[in-house]
Structures are given as structure tokens and as C-alpha cells.
A and B are shown apart, each in its own frame.
Chain A
Amino acid sequence: MERKIRVLIAKPGLDGHDRGAKVIARALRDAGFEVIYTGIRQTPEQIANAALQEGVDVVGLSCLSGAHNQLFPRVVELLREKGAGDVLVIGGGIIPYDDIPRLKEAGIEEVFQPGTPIEEIVNYIRKRMEERRKEG
């Protein structure tokens, strides 16, 4: 049997808006993934550690407070430092369109904006995991 895709949904920074994070977490679970949710107000260090401990394939970051430019890249940086640079990091929340290129450059591979159908996110993760498996 194939191992389930493991996803960590995380809330970096001080933002407490986690309706979206929780909905996504549950939808991913219903789509057949194994999902862990960090709860709110996590530092990038805590998130990277949790990703390592749980051995996840994907980290989904959610931020609605506008601190994404500082926090998202930091999570990627820490994952790389800890030798987990192959974890797929994606993000969502209130992210201005103009910020997306910079985030992608920093290693956040996709940024989903408000109103994105969940199916699109599920398909994206599946496709990327499939690609990695083939590469791997």
C-alpha cells in the first residue's frame, strides 16, 4: 500500500485567523492525506521542527496578517538548514499579488489566494508529489 501524503498545516506569526487553515486541513484529510495542524501563533522555528518531527511531505503556511514576507521565507530557510529542503512548501492567506514572485523565489512553491477552490489545492499537491516520486 502506498504511504499517505503527510501535510503540516501551520500558522506562522501572531495571526489568529485560522478558519481557512482549519478548513483546508480538514479538506485535505477528506482527500486522503494525513494532516497535522500546528495551531496558531507558531514561530518559523517551531514549524520547521514540527515538519521534521512529523516527517511531512508538505508544509502549508497560512497568514492573514501581512507578515508573510518575513515569515514564509524563514520557514523554507530553516527547513533547508535542517536538511529538509525537499519538503514542498506552499502558502495561502491574504497575500498581495505583487508579493508572490518574491515568495516563489524564496522557495514557497505556490501561493493560493482567497477564493481558490480546495480541489485545486488537492490536485496541485497530488501532482507535485507524483512528480517528485518519479524524480526520486
Chain B
Amino acid sequence: MKEDRLREEYRRWESTTLKKALERARERQEVFETTSGIELKRLYMPYDLGEFDYLEELGFPGEYPFTRGVQATMYRGRLWTMRQYSGFATAEETNKRYHYLLKQGQTGLSVAFDLPTQIGYDSDNPLSAGEVGKVGVAIDSLADMEILFDGIPLDKVSTSMTINATAAIILAMYIAVAEKQGVPSEVLRGTIQNDILKEYVARGTYIYPPGPSMRIITDIFAYCKERLPLWNTISISGYHIREAGSTAVQEVAFTLANGIAYVEAAIGAGLDVDSFARRLSFFFGAHNNFLEEIAKFRAARRMWARIMRERFGAKKPASWMLRFHTQTAGCTLTAQQPRNNIIRVTLQALAAVLGGTQSLHTNSWDEALALPTEEAVTIALRTQQIIAYESGVAEVVDPLGGSYCVEALTTEIERRAEEYIRRIDEMGGAPKAIEAGFIQREIADAAYQYQKEIEEKRRIIVGLNEFTVEESPFTEILRISPEVERYQKEKLERVKKERNTARVKETLKRLREAAEGTENLMPHILEAVKAYATLGEIADTLREVFGEHTQLTTII
């Protein structure tokens, strides 16, 4: 037997060459582990893959279970979309940044909105004080959205929008802007994040309680199926779960568990699984542990394919495909010796590419300190371009497929994530597990563990707890002027003065009635948006019907 022979040879190596080496010098650590606590072997052998059936576990790119990638030719055909998440201050300033990024060779847009926009408050709401234009662009009404995409042909560019609780409103504004450009909604390409479950556990921009929030989401699915067939209606996001401190295994498990919940909700709302599944997309982080990250992406793809085919009985191959965006992990950036972040981002981006991402955002080196400057963003974009055009890794499909180590890690991540999903199923699914605080606790535990490892120097972060230097504080950062808030409020006032108030009232009244009933909300939101009802007014109308979700104070 070939395998017996291999094991025999391995034992020989262990008792001779290896033994001698270990006698001369011990290894650096007793145990080596990934961030998910998977113990890494010294050396991976073919038999470490166990009962590995190539066709079953890997198959071919573009075919079930898509472990090797969702397209047959992957980056030999088309490179991943280089999509830098960007937005700050006003629509005017952000529009300029978009034109700059497109000119620099970026191939898709990704909109960052400020927190008031994400939580459904206008810029003049007292709760918005200090937050306007800070973490993204401020959008109060269709008027701002028209400025944001001025001179950008929406039939040519694909746009990803990080928007969740107010996704329906922002999508409606996008449709309305396109209409003004003469672009029908049927050709619009892009993504709304629209993933409320992870907002409750990790990101925090929720408005309504889970029930009505899930209804808005399924309304969007149903509307887009008819009117925006090319639009990705949701980006089920592990990124924020990871940023909140989860391990790689938890990131996969909790993200796919949320995905399962959305599919169940849509089926529950009467949609056929194959009618919406192909428009589901995903979003993951790319953290530091290079091999584990590559394995994570591959494991997620295989798991989702099996979930969609076996659990939900989806029949179309497109329904089985896990297509995903990646962002390099912001939480790994250090404020100390910040230029080292360029190297971190490069490795993380490379892992995402080797893991088969469809689009990628690379963080800028100064983002542990503030929003990035134009110069820093350019380096981040160039990092992707260097990987794409110079490194050669884009020339082969899934080049690490078949690596004993990567395949073993892929299988192990899958096994552990499946175990989590089983536990979540037993609790009644992701919404129930979130309600019980299970997912939040698991993430918080992992985050604390990670921090303790850094504090105790069991985990070395270069420039932070080792190889440190005295450095003067870094002050050349992008700053958002408080003027932005004033300017935004003025613009809002002008819009309110110039619009037809009766029409606004009428559209909001109709939206309210739809919310109280079971009608799809999207057409009503679109009408309100076109009447220049503000984002806050629309969100408030729904608040009055749906109520608000709140977090409680806790004793630690």
C-alpha cells in the first residue's frame, strides 16, 4: 500500500532526521495554532487529508462544490473587481474621490455612508451631532445622491453600498438617480449590504426589531427579482463579525448561519429558492494568518454550496455559488509604525486572491488613525494592482488547491464551522441564537482571548508589543471639518423648502399604510424618495409602525 509506505517513511524521518534536529534545537513553541485554535502540524502529508475524495471535496472551478472557485477561468478571464470602500464629508467631496479612484484604475465603486445615514437620521437630527460626514458621506435626500453620482454613468459602473437598516431607502435613491440618467433599473449592477443580523451582533447600525427588519429584507429580495435582476440584494457579512473579534472559524460559521436565516425568511415569504439565491453575495475579512485565511475562503465556498443544494434543495448551480467581496482586516492595522500596515495589507490581500475573491478592498496604511488620505488610498489600490499584474498568482486557478496543508485546514475549518451551525440550528437558528446572546458572547470571548495573547506577548504584533521604537505622534491625517455638518444642514433646509410638501406627505402616508399591512414596501419608498422625502422622514415613518431595537446596559 502506498499510504502505509508513506507512513512508514514518515516514522523513519521522525526517528532519524527530525529527532536529530530537535535534539540540536527545540522548536520555537511547544504548540503552533491558527487564530481559530487549530493546531498546526509540523508537516502535512498526503494521508493527513483522511478520506479525501478529490471530486467530492474539490471538483472543478465553476462547478459544485466550487471549492476551487466560482468561475471556470477565475482571474485568467477577468481580474477581481478592485473596489475601495470610500466616502467622507459631503456628496460633493466624495464624488471627487470617486472620479479620482476611477481614473486611477479602480473598477468598481464602494460607498461608505456616515452613521446618521446608516441609522436613519437626517443631518439636522440632534442625535447626528458630531457624526455628520465622519465615517462616510452624509446623504439626507435624493438631492445628495444626485450629487454623489454626478458624472458617473450608472449603466457602466457597479456600485457596492454599505447600507443595512436604511438599505431600502438608499437603493430607492440609487434607482431614482439612474432613472434621471436615463438608465433603467434592469441594467443596474451592484450590491447593498442589507445584512441586519450582523448589525445586531457586531456592527450596531440597526433601527427596527428583527421581525420587521427581516420583512424589509425579503421585500427587497422580491422587488429586485422583478426590477433589478442583476443587483446583489444582500452581502452577508462576516467581515464585521471578524472585526468584532471572532476567529476565522466563527466568521464562517456565523456568516453562513445568518445566510441560512435569510434564505429561510425568503422561502417563508413565499419566494422560490432558485429565484433569489443567485443574488445573495457574501463579504469576508482577510486577517493575518495567511494559510488559515486562504483555507477559510475555500471552506466557506464548499459549505455554502452544500447548504444550498442539500439543505434548501436549490437546483440551479448559480444558487449554490458563494460569491464574495473581501476587505483586509482593519483591526490588524497598528497605529504604531503605521507604514508597516502596507505589508500587512499586502499579505492579507494576497490571501484573499489565493482564496478566490470576486472583489477586494485593501485598507490604507493610515486607517488605524483616521480615514485615509488620497495618497494612502493610492498605495492601497496599487497593492492590488501589483498582486494582479506582477505577482503571477492570478495566472493559475486556485494555485494552492492540493496543498496538503491548505486542504487539511480547509476541511478542519469546515468541520468546526459545521459544528457551530449545528449548535445554532439547535437553538432555533441565527436570530434565536442572537436573541439569546450566544453569538455575541462567543465573539466577545474570542476578542478577549486575542487581546490577552497580545498583552502577554504570546502573540507578537510587530511594532506594537515587539520591535517597538519611540516615535513622534503621527498627525498628517485626513480631517473632516465641522463645517460639513453646517453645510449639510443648509442643503437639507433648501431641499425641504423647494419640494412639494403635499406630495411628500401623501407618499409617506401611503408608505405608512403599506408598512401597517403586508404590501411590498419598496415601491412606496421609491415614490417617497422621488418626492424628496428625506431619509430621516422615511425611516421615522417606519419607526412609528415598527418600533426600535435597543441594547441594554449590562454588568460585566
Contacts and interface: CB of A to CB of B under 8 A. Distances in A.
A16 interface: yes
Nearest to A64: B135
A98 interface: yes
Contacts of A17: 204, 243
Contact of B334 (A15, A69, A115): A115
Interface in B202-239: 202-205
A71 B482 CA distance: 13
Contacts of A29: 556
- How many interface residues does chain A have, given as a range? 35 or more
Contact of B369 (A13, A27, A94): A94
Contact of A23 (B368, B451, B482): B451
A23, A40, A43, A66 interface centre (most CB from chain B within 10 Å): A66
Nearest to B449: A23
- How many interface residues does chain B have, given as a range? 35 or more
B455 A41 contact: no
Interface in A1-55: 9, 13-19, 22-23, 25-29, 34-41, 43, 50
Interface string B72-84: 0000000000000
A23 B446 CA distance: 10
Contacts of B550: 39
Contacts of A117: 455, 465
A96 B205 contact: no
Interface stretch (B17-25, B402-410, B472-480): B472-480
Contacts of A19: 243-245, 331, 447
Contacts of B474: 97
B130 A67 contact: yes
B447 A66 contact: no
B370 A96 contact: yes
A96 B479 contact: yes
A22 B203 contact: no
B336 interface: yes
24 contacts: A13-B130, A13-B131, A14-B115, A14-B119, A15-B204, A16-B204, A19-B243, A22-B447, A22-B556, A26-B444, A29-B556, A36-B553, A37-B555, A39-B554, A43-B127, A50-B553, A67-B134, A68-B130, A69-B482, A71-B130, A96-B369, A115-B335, A115-B336, A119-B455
Interface of B: 115-116, 118-119, 121, 127-131, 134-135, 199, 202-205, 243-245, 331, 334-336, 368-371, 444, 447-448, 451, 455, 464-465, 473-475, 477, 479-480, 482, 550-556
In order of increasing CB-CB distance, the 4 nearest A-B pairs are A16-B204, A70-B130, A67-B130, A39-B551
